[in-house]
């Protein structure tokens, strides 16, 4: 069965999650990946959305972070201040799953502005929960489609802190959490280098060449000595993901 | 004790030109009908406060009601930009908009500090990021017990809070269930409050485990506006109109189509128009 790069990205991200994870879920690609994991190999995964829903099991993907579907299928729903204080700041989340408009080689993220802050060329939505998700969760997975406008040499604004300007910067700020450990894209999977914390391609998706990945990145990208081949999506993974998206489109009133 | 008023009276009484106002709601129970009434009454120079400004603030900003926005995430969730917000920030249309930008954790803590009558909120946040460089009210304090440096932001104490809730009883107590957001904190932090409700009942009856109750004496005014959260939702009454959030992207992208939508749907209609959005859950789920 053939698949799209976006499906490969979601499936590669879903495979990294396990039954033991307590996952703080962002809207969009992270939400699709977390729910795909729950519907395939990780039925006991704990999904938490910042609107206050704990252990939620939505039948369709939410359009917004506080859709009724999330509350209806949750174990319980807490207030937003409680979510950020007791659950996130309290250190109870193992994995924070973020997307972003822009990322740099040390996995810092920008979702605030393109151009100067006071006179922006593009005003993006802002950080929302991300700055504290990035510092309080045990580790961070990032999922973003590649392109030179998204994977940039220098961020105009640091909305969420990854590895700063290299290895050791998190420790200098007093952060005890691991920060970004995986970046799952539509072309490859990257991990921070153990010595420098610079993002390094560790696996290429089926049919993707090294040149293709280099062309989609705004800095000279490093590759592991022998990048692995990401296993192609299985028929089961694709069928479950497509079914989830079809249910979601129908529920949101969008023509398939 | 809360007084029962019409929506028009409620906005006249609770929201004045130049006020800071929190019209809160976290996806659920966003007070759209009240926002439309503020536009109809031509409120000006407001400081709009909300963690997640979405369509209703986009409408108020586009109609020139706001001089400042205090926020932590300003987008159309799952859809894209708020085009009226962007036009104000990027091009100064209809006029310049001042921004005070935070993270969600900061705003949630700041509302809680306001409700608790504290001058500021303290939390572990803003580490290594650029927001403190552009927002001078983000500061820090050293913990007197451990020496840890913690982030601080001033408490939020809005002049007015405007929210939508599920029910009020005859005494003016207010019930919120489902995703309860930060509305309790916003009302308790504010000087005055207006609550629009789906229903006024004799007695709340059985409540869910996480029900939030605002006692009558914490609320200034209550207006009965069925459907008043549309296109947001009211748990147990009607679902979120996700198709409208998707459609708003096109309406708001262009100044003329935005203005004609407002003319037809805000100035051309009153609060009663929201009632048609209360529809059986089963139908919405089809």
Query: Domain range for residue B181?
Result: 3-102+157-285
Give the SS3 label for residue A210. Answer: helix
Structural domain contains residue A246: yes
Bridge pairing between strands B66-71 and B98-101: parallel
Give the SS3 label for residue A56. Answer: coil
Mean pLDDT score, A105-123: 95
**Cα distance between residue B251 and residue B259, in whole Å:** 9
How confident is the model over B176-223, as pLDDT tens digits?
Answer: 999 999 999 999 999 999 999 999 999 999 988 789 999 999 999 999
Structural domain contains residue A83: yes
Average pLDDT of chain A to the nearest whole number: 94
Burial readout B63-95 (b: 16 or more C-beta within 10 A, e: otherwise): bbbbbbbbbbbbbbbbbebbbbbbbbbbeebbe
Cα of B205 vs its chain's centroid, Å: 27
We report the CATH number of the domain holding residue A33 as 3.40.1080.10
Domain count, chain A: 1
How confident is the model over A201-239, as pLDDT tens digits?
Answer: 999 999 999 999 999 999 999 999 999 999 999 999 999
Domain count, chain B: 1
**Cα distance between residue B84 and residue A123, in whole Å:** 11
Report yes or no: B68 at the A interface, CB cutoff 8 Å.
no
Residue B280: per-residue pLDDT: 59
We report the CATH number of the domain holding residue B171 as 3.40.1080.10
Structural domain contains residue B118: no
Structural domain contains residue B173: yes
A50 as an active site residue: the answer is yes
Residues of B in contact with A68 (CB under 8 A): 28, 178-179, 233, 235, 239-240
Q: Of all residues in chain A, what percent are helix, strand and coil, respectively (each to 5)? A: 25, 20, 50
pLDDT cut 90: percent of chain B above it = 94
Q: Is the pLDDT of residue B285 over 80?
A: no
Contact B128 A175 (CB under 8 A): yes
Mean pLDDT score, A104-112: 97
Number of residue pairs across A and B with CB atoms under 8 Å? Answer: 192
How confident is the model over B58-80, as pLDDT tens digits?
Answer: 999 999 999 999 999 999 988 99
Contact B129 A159 (CB under 8 A): yes
Structural domain contains residue B69: yes
Query: Domain range for residue A199?
Result: 5-99+131-144+161-204+220-251
Identify each DSSP E strand in chain A by its residue range.
22-25, 46-49, 53-54, 76-77, 95-98, 102-103, 109-110, 113-114, 122-123, 139-143, 180-184, 188-192, 199-204, 222-229
Report yes or no: A160 at the B interface, CB cutoff 8 Å.
yes
Task: Find the Cα–Cα–Cα–Cα dihedral B38, B42, B43, B44, rounded to 10°.
Answer: 150
Mean pLDDT score, A97-105: 94
Contact present, A51 and B26 (Cβ < 8 Å): yes
Residue B281: per-residue pLDDT: 52
| Interface TM-score (ipTM) > 0.85 | yes
Residues 187-246 on A with a CB inside 8 Å of B are none
């Amino acid at each position: 069965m053939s698949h799209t790069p976006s499906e490969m990205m979601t499936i590669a991200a879903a495979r990294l999650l396990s039954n033991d994870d307590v996952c703080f879920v962002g809207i969009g690609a992270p939400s699709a990946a977390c729910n795909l994991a729950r519907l395939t190999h990780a039925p006991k995964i704990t999904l938490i959305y910042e609107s206050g829903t704990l252990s939620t099991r939505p039948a369709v993907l939410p359009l917004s972070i506080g859709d009724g579907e999330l509350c209806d299928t949750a174990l319980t729903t807490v207030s937003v201040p409680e979510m950020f204080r007791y659950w996130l700041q309290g250190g109870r989340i193992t994995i924070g799953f973020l997307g972003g408009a822009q990322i740099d080689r040390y996995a810092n993220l920008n979702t605030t502005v393109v151009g100067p802050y006071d006179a922006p060329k593009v005003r993006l939505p802002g950080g929302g929960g991300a700055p504290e998700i990035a510092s309080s969760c045990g580790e961070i997975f990032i999922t973003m489609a590649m392109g030179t406008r998204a994977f940039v040499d220098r961020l105009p604004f640091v909305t969420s802190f990854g590895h700063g300007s290299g290895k050791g910067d998190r420790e200098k700020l007093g952060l005890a959490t691991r920060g970004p450990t995986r970046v799952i894209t539509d072309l490859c999977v990257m991990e921070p280098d153990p010595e420098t914390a610079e993002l390094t391609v560790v696996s290429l998706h089926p049919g993707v060449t090294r040149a293709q990945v280099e062309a989609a990145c705004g800095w000279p990208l490093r590759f592991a000595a022998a990048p692995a081949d990401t296993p192609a999506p299985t028929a089961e993974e694709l069928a479950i993901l497509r079914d989830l998206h079809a249910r979601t489109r129908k529920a949101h009133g969008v023509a398939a | 004790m809360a007084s029962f008023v019409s929506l028009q009276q409620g906005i006249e009484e609770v929201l004045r030109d130049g006020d800071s106002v929190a019209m809160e709601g976290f996806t659920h129970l966003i007070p759209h009908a009240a926002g439309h009434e503020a536009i109809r009454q031509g409120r000006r120079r407001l400081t709009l406060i909300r963690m997640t400004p979405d369509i209703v603030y986009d409408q108020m900003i586009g109609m020139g009601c706001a001089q400042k926005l205090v926020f932590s995430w300003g987008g159309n969730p799952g859809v894209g930009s708020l085009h009226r917000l962007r036009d104000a920030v990027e091009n100064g249309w209809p006029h310049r908009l001042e921004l005070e930008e935070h993270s969600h954790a900061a705003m949630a803590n700041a509302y809680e500090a306001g409700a608790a009558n504290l001058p500021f909120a303290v939390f572990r946040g803003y580490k290594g990021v650029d927001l403190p460089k552009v927002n001078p009210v983000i500061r820090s304090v050293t913990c007197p017990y451990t020496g840890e440096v913690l982030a601080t932001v001033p408490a939020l104490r809005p002049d007015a809070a405007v929210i939508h809730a599920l029910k009020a009883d005859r005494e003016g107590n207010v019930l919120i269930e489902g995703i309860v957001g930060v509305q309790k904190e916003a009302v308790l932090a504010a000087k005055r409050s207006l609550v629009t409700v789906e229903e006024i009942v004799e007695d709340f009856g059985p409540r869910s485990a996480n029900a939030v109750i605002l006692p009558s004496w914490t609320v200034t005014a209550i207006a009965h506006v069925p459907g008043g959260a549309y296109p947001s939702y009211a748990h147990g009454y009607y679902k979120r109109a996700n198709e409208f959030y998707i459609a708003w992207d096109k309406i708001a992208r262009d100044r003329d189509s935005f203005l004609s939508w407002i003319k037809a749907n805000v100035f051309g209609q009153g609060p009663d128009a929201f009632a048609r959005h209360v529809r059986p859950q089963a139908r919405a789920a089809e």
